Amino acid sequence: MRGLLILAGLLVSTSLLAQTPAALQEKLKAIAADPVALRAAVDGGKKVTFFCANCHGEDGISKTPEVPNLAGQNPAYLLEQIRKFGTGERKDPFMQGLIKVLKDDERLQVAAYYSSIPVPPSKADAAKAAQGKVLFTKLCVRCHGEQARGAELFPRLAGQKVPYLQTSITRYRDGTGIRNNQLMSIATAPLKNDDIVAVANYLTQLP
């Protein structure tokens, strides 16, 4: 009986140590509002993300065209995606394994670090980008913002590489990706393949 009580106490204390998603988001906001704490978090995040560099680049700019940039993302959005990988809500065996070893404070540091890095725009086909701007303004601005920089709930698309954007948009349209989203399915449904190329060219050249 005594052993069971001790075990129960340990389980309760362990659960109290794990901060809720809402509490972590509030802590992230507090860090962002304190220049000293933010600098410390960014420095810590640079050290923590050494294992991310092989795919996402040392500065959060992807080395592989099919892998997304993490630099410049909204920190709240990044923190939520980290949480989802950790719980298995987002599926990727490699990412899930890496994320699970991160402590709460390290997750905050990762989000702070990547969000602090500017994203250089990529070259694009000017004619296609002009066409893509029209489509983006019509279908995507409401969620992703006029400059495609995203928000707490929506990812930054500006500056992402064309192959990654094409693949992601196509998967949402066709419902073939691991991540399905009703709003994205509706928004991308009217897009033909050439339209997707145009939107990708518009987004990649945005700063």
- pLDDT tens digit string along 36-51? 999 999 999 999 999 8
Residue among 50, 55, 73 at smallest CA distance from 65: 55
- Flag whether pLDDT at 11 surpasses 60: no
- Flag whether pLDDT at 206 surpasses 70: yes
Residue 20 Cα distances to 3, 38, 80, angstroms: 28, 21, 11
Report the C-alpha gap between 15 and 91 in whole angstroms.
Answer: 24
Token pair, residue 3, equals 């052993």
At 7 the pLDDT is 38
Confidence band (pLDDT; 50, 70, 90) for 69? very high
- Domains of the chain and CATH, by start: 19-115 (1.10.760.10), 126-204 (1.10.760.10)
- Helix axis angle for 193-204 and 126-139, nearest 10°, is 100
pLDDT tens by residue, 144-176? 999 999 999 999 999 999 999 999 999 999 999
At 119 the pLDDT is 93
- Flag whether pLDDT at 97 surpasses 80: yes
pTM of the model: 0.88
Residues 6+ away with beta carbon under 8 Å from 157 = 140, 144, 148, 150, 165, 203, 206
